[in-house]
Amino acid sequence: MLYRRFGKTDEKVSILGFGTMRLPTIGGDDTQVDEEKAVQMIRYAIDSGVNYIDTAYPYHGGMSESVLGKALEGGYREKIYLATKLPSWLITSREDMDQFLNEQLERLKTDYIDFYLIHALNRDFWDLVKKHGIFDFLDSALNERKIKYTGFSFHDNLETFKEIVDSYPWTLCQIQYNFMDENFQAGKEGLLYAASKGLGVVIMEPMRGGYLVSKVPPQVQEIWDSAETQRSPVEWSLRYLWDYPEISVVLSGMSDMKHVIDNVKLASEGFPESLTEEERKLISQVKEVYRAKTKVNCTGCQYCMPCPSGVNIPENFKYLNNAEMFDNAEGEKALYSGLEGQASNCTECGQCEEKCPQKTPIREMLKEVVKLFGK
């Protein structure tokens, strides 16, 4: 396992972080985490050198923090840096912030959080938490030693990102970034800006919700296969990010033990500035192929959910994108036919678009789903 200095701190963090947003579940129910498997995976990762574990208040319907708390018993808490997040969109008062933090400390069975982030900041949520005294809350939590460092995760434009970076002496930021998202949200410019201010940079969605590594289209695989050094799509995605010396941690939302074992091995070779110029050109070629084929910009983050009409928005878009990117419309239509919450249930209320961090025109794209797959 390789480690990097975390921004302006003296902490050394593993370049691979364990994201607990996609833990193994029972019966496909996101709120029913397979606790035994999840604990085994988390402890294996820690035993293998992973020391940055990320969770959040809403993950797995609140179960992620509780399961992680159990996994960290027996001395594992002392081996890692624990990161979790304040649900910014649920804040209605200054008191709410203390209540959420105290509840999270109890769920996680710990006296303090190493890295406490304000979750999913965009313009609206940023204005909301400022209105209710976020700076006073952070200062108080630091003074009371309930948290050690402060940060935020982000989903909005570059201007808003820079404003937030400059507003408070943060320790870290967490941004969406991968080889397809160099100019999306904070993007490369935001990444470099935060690093120049001494922030540790944590990356989420390194494989764009898995889309960059599952069912790789032939045109893309041909490009990967042409490389002098053979790597899997997962390794290419991770190595692209680890190549940046400004990136401290890349989070992987691992959902089975094989993911953990494979990623831990890859993290022993993720040195900064280690890709050759030819390899960087190769990645650019792959990016252009995907860009030409992607139908809708959705990472499956589920911030648009729940839909009041019962539409499973991320799943609808997953089938649409898979059909387009992987030239498999008939196969995806067969899978789509068994989906509960199909796009045809949409009443165009627009609530989803207000919450979407990608600013996707969800209602119009759901019509595309119906057009391709029918009702």
pLDDT for residue 85 is more than 80 = yes
Question: What DSSP designation does 211 have?
Answer: T
Q: What is the pLDDT of residue 9?
A: 97
Q: What is the pLDDT of residue 321?
A: 86
Percent of all residues in the chain with a pLDDT value above 70, rounded to a whole number:
100
Q: What is the pLDDT of residue 346?
A: 96
30 pLDDT tier (thresholds 50, 70, 90): very high
Question: What angle (nearest 5°) sits at the alpha carbon of residue 216, between those of residues 212 and 222?
Answer: 115
Domains of the chain: 3-286 (3.20.20.100), 313-373 (no CATH)
For residues 312-319, average pLDDT:
92
Of 45-49, 83-87, 288-292, the range with the lowest mean pLDDT is 288-292
Tell me the whole-structure pTM to 2 decimals: 0.84
Model pLDDT for residues 276-310, shown as the tens digit of each residue: 999 999 999 999 998 888 889 887 788 899 999 99
For residues 109-119, average pLDDT:
98
pLDDT for residue 109 is more than 80 = yes
Closest to 142 (Cα-Cα) out of 112, 166, 120: 112
pLDDT for residue 31 is more than 90 = yes
Residue 138 burial (CB < 10 Å; 0-12/13-18/19+)? buried
Q: What is the pLDDT of residue 286?
A: 95
Q: What is the pLDDT of residue 21?
A: 96
83 pLDDT tier (thresholds 50, 70, 90): very high
Model pLDDT for residues 237-252, shown as the tens digit of each residue: 999 999 999 999 999 9
Percent of all residues in the chain with a pLDDT value above 90, rounded to a whole number:
85
Q: DSSP letters along 21-64, please?
A: TS--EETTEEEEE-HHHHHHHHHHHHHTT--EEE--TTGGGGHH
3-state secondary structure of 216: coil
Say how far apart CA 183 and CA 307 lie, in whole Å. Answer: 29
